[in-house]
Amino acid sequence: MEPVTLTTERLILRAFTPADTEETYEACQDADIQRWTTVPSPYARTDAAGFVTRMVPDGWRHDTEYTFAARPRDGGPLIAAASLHHPRSGAWEVGFWTAEKHRGSGYMTEIVLELARWAFTDLGCTRLEWRAEVGNAGSRAVAEKAGFVIEGVLRGGLLNKATLRDCWVGALLPGDIGLPSLLPYLPARESAGN
C-alpha cells in the first residue's frame, strides 16, 4: 500500500521520512521508550536511519506494518510514533511511543482512536489488539482511555530485547467506538449459576 496521511483534531499522521531521522533519534534516547518498547537499547543514529529509510517503507510496501509519525497539524515537533502491525485473521495490533515532553496531553489516545477508525473502515480490521509488558502503566492508561477491554495477561507473550516477558493484552472492536462490524459478533455468555 502507498502510505496514507490521517488527521485528527490536533495532529497530522504520516509515514516517517528521512527528514525525521534526527528527531526520532532524540526521542528514542528516552529511558522509558527504550525500556518499554522494542527499540534497540542503546539507540544509535544508525537505528533511527534504518527505521525511517528501511523499516517504515518496507512495512508499507509489504502491507505488514503501517507506521506513522505524529506532528501538530499546524507544524511543529515530532510528538509520537504509532503503527498497526502483525495482521492476522482480520486482526491488527497497535503499538506506539510518545516523546517524553508530549506525554500527558492526550495525544496518544487521539492517535490510537484515529488509527482504529482507519483500521476498521479501510483495512477490513475486525479486532484491534494492544499488548504491553506488565508494568507499563502509561501504555495501559492510553489503551483504557481509547476504550480497549483488557483481556488478561499472556505469559511470555512479548519478546523484547531477547527476553520473553509477560504482557497485558486488550482488544477494541468496531462497535466499541460506534462503528459497524464487518462480521457479526456473538459474545460469550456466562451461564446462570457460574
- For the segment 57-63, the average pLDDT, to the nearest whole number, is 97
Sequence length of the chain is 194
Domain boundaries, the chain: 6-126
Question: Does 192 have pLDDT greater than 70?
Answer: no
Residues 135-165: pLDDT tens digits?
A: 999 999 999 999 999 999 999 999 999 999 9
Structure confidence at residue 190 (pLDDT) = 74
62: enclosing H helix or E strand? helix 56-62
Q: HEC string of 75-99?
A: CCCCCEEEEEEEEECCEEEEEEEEC
Taking the C-alpha atoms of residue 64 and residue 83, their distance in angstroms, rounded to an integer, is: 10
Taking the C-alpha atoms of residue 22 and residue 61, their distance in angstroms, rounded to an integer, is: 23
Query: Which of 91, 83, 128 shows the shortest CA–CA distance to 108?
Result: 83
- For the segment 70-74, the average pLDDT, to the nearest whole number, is 97
6-126 has which CATH code? 3.40.630.30
Structure confidence at residue 191 (pLDDT) = 66
Question: Does 194 have pLDDT greater than 80?
Answer: no
Per the prediction, the chain carries an average pLDDT of 96
Q: Give the SS3 label for residue 103.
A: coil
